[in-house]
Amino acid sequence: MFPRKNKTINRWAAFLALCFMLVFATIFGRFVFLAEAKEVDGHDLVKIGKNNWTQVKVVDAERGKILSRNGDVLARDVPAYDLYAVLSHKAPSYVKDKEKTARELAPILKMKETDILKILNKPLYQVEFGVHGQKLDADTMERIKNLHLPGIGFIRDSKRYYPNGTFASYVIGFTNHLDDADKEVGVLGIEKSLNSYLTEQDGLIKFYSDRNGDILPDGVKDLKKPKNGDDVYLTIDRRIQTVLEDAMDRVYEKYDPKRMIAIVCDPKTGAILAMSDRPTFDPNERNIQGYTNDAISTPYEPGSVMKTFTLAAAINEGVWPGTQTFKSGAYEVKDGRSTVATIHDWIRNWGTITFNDGFIRSSNVAFSIVEDKYLGPDRFYKYLERFGFTKKTGIDLPKEADSRINFKWHTDQVMNSFGQASAFTAIQIVQAATAIANDGKMMRPYIIQKVVDPNSGKTVLAHKPAVAGRPITKETAEKVRELMRKVVTDKNGTGTRYNLKGYDVIGKTGTAQISMNGQYLTGEDNYIFSFLGMAPKNDPKLVVYIAIDRPHLKPLQAGSEPVSEVFNPVMQNALQYLKVEPTQTDATDHAAQKAVRIDDWTGKPVDEAVKALAGQGLHPVAIGNGTVRAQLPQPGVSVLPNTKILLLGTGEERMPDITGWSLSEVLQLSRLTEMETAVTGDGYVVSQKPAKGAAIGSGQVLDVKLKRPSGAAAKDE
């Protein structure tokens, strides 16, 4: 017999069921209401939901690259990392041992332990380390990661990187974080003048996400594509610039001058192939002393280099008294102030010589007479205008300075003829020289080849050769070049130190006095020594101008020595690189006899090429085995004995031992193997990555450290 159900339990069950039904009906009704009304208390629920689900992320773009005319990257963005430390105990990982953390981070960040401890003891959830912890490179980041310090993390960022250090630093410039958008902004050089082209535009992506922040299928709501900055191609030639930088470094260290200026120009087009100043700086370190590119922004008295253009003016006007004679030594000039100024030659015992000889010997008296008695101030000033000395050249670099011309008094007018009284910039001198080299046609200098949009491949800006004027005739230019050649070859010429064996260099020396507070400095070292050279004589392919301000010379040492130690290697290397055939082949030309013409070894066995080149007294370097598929220097170039000849084989490429190599040789290797180059220091290679024998390939980074020899080694060098 079954027990009867308790009526009380049945009643409670019915009551509870009714309550649940009422609650369910209420909630369901609320959902129905919200679904129809889509708002509560005046708040749009759909909008709130979309805001909660929607995320916006920045898609980083890159600042445009700066490249040489050969396509070598001179400036680019690379990954960087900002260091932070989590201090809150509520975080999953936080700094537990502050003393240990400070002790191990200090040497890496180059900070004091006490300064790091002050940061780590702040009552904050998370801290950063200021400039010491910002923009860290990948190697530094990995060193810190390997310490396995709790609470230490990184935020990925990017920074501007200049792989060649001091290479053309005043031309390229550098960037800094200056604007509210926290973007890199150019503050010097091309980085500044073309900042609007180089600046990138970051993209944005707006999407619906799940609770983990992951994008939902078909969840992209809006997309703004990133746009990388435009790439800038310069006329700078990496090979020529590298040789110039090496020579400038050696001379700057050896003679400790106040400053140095060097420009290499293609006179046919006006393209600047190399430009450098000393002192210089590394844009990665930003150890900059001054923000002036002296090559374009600092006018100074050019000295006797100016006689080249006075000579050209007189020849062009038909008044050059070339074979006539004058008494050298001193010349008196009266000006409108009833005063008499006496102009002296730098050597006063030449006696009576011809005006042609006056140019060869660099006589101030000769050119004072020519300006005073033959040309006259009015005609002479017109040629200052025609040669571009009275206005800026218009070169495409920021902060070009104008000349400072003193032409009021007769003494100033006469002194202008031999390079005193007025001040000009080095780039004005180079522009004027293109007229001598280019048969009377003067070319405007330029350094920006083109600007390319990397997103579309289209050229958005292109600079082409532009004629700045025709100050003289072709016949005049030829006559000037004849006399400039004698400056270098004649036994009485002031430029014999620049007579390169194998090439008919022409030029004019300059020794300019330095004026301070209205008075010229005295002393054997207080001059600006310079040389304006071209080669070859009949059809110059290069104009090279070097000026060195107050080098420290030894007793009886000529000011032309430091200048020639820059000019000679630059001109010789550049002519060989440009495949300009030597022009002197006489029996006394020992350098031409020793020069070796490189054969074409492509398609032939590497072993055979190595053996043959070694037999010619050269230094072959094999990169890979099999047959030769590329070589540097290229076939047909004449080089000196023991020159390194790089041979790239068809087999697996292996890294050679490059210890002791110069930067120019390293760059040849990277060019041949298509490796990226990261260089620190200057001088010669003391360490390398990849190591000797390691497999290498295109796109790989060749990381080298250079160091200049000291003590006896430096003297031998």
Instruction: Give the dihedral of Cα atoms 269, 273, 279, 280; nearest 10 deg.
Output: 120
The CA distance from 480 to 439, in Å, is 10
The CA distance from 237 to 69, in Å, is 6
How many other C-beta atoms lie within 10 A of the C-beta of residue 578? 15
DSSP lists the bridge partners of residue 459 as: 452
DSSP state of 374: I
DSSP state of 305: G
The CA distance from 549 to 236, in Å, is 24
CA dihedral sign of residues 314, 315, 317, 319: positive
Distances (CA, A) of 626 to 525, 602, 604, 619, 651: 57, 11, 8, 19, 5
- What residues act catalytically? 304
The CA distance from 232 to 194, in Å, is 8
- The residue type of 632 is L
DSSP state of 372: I
Phi, psi of 611 (to 5 degrees): -65, -45
Residue 393: burial class (beta carbons within 10 Å; 0-12, 13-18, 19+)? buried
Rounded to 5°, the CA angle 289-293-295 comes to 135
CA dihedral sign of residues 192, 197, 200, 204: positive
Tokens for 197? 């082209």
Distances (CA, A) of 309 to 34, 158, 340, 388, 507: 91, 50, 26, 11, 12
**Under the phi-then-psi rule, with left for phi > 0, alpha for psi from -120 to 50, and beta for the rest, what region is 642?**
left
Nearest alpha carbon to residue 601 among 614, 619, 613, 615: 613
Nearest alpha carbon to residue 313 among 367, 276, 363, 353: 367
Nearest alpha carbon to residue 511 among 500, 489, 495, 496: 495
**Strands 619-623 and 644-649, bridge-based pairing:** parallel
How many other C-beta atoms lie within 10 A of the C-beta of residue 179? 10
**Cβ 423 vs Cβ 448: under 8 Å:** no
**Cβ 537 vs Cβ 504: under 8 Å:** yes
Place of tokens 């105990």: 89
Residue ranges of alpha helices (H) inside 547-688 are 560-577, 590-594, 606-615, 663-673
Distances (CA, A) of 656 to 44, 626, 643, 660: 70, 16, 16, 12
The CA distance from 302 to 429, in Å, is 8
- The residue type of 303 is G
**Cβ 686 vs Cβ 709: under 8 Å:** no
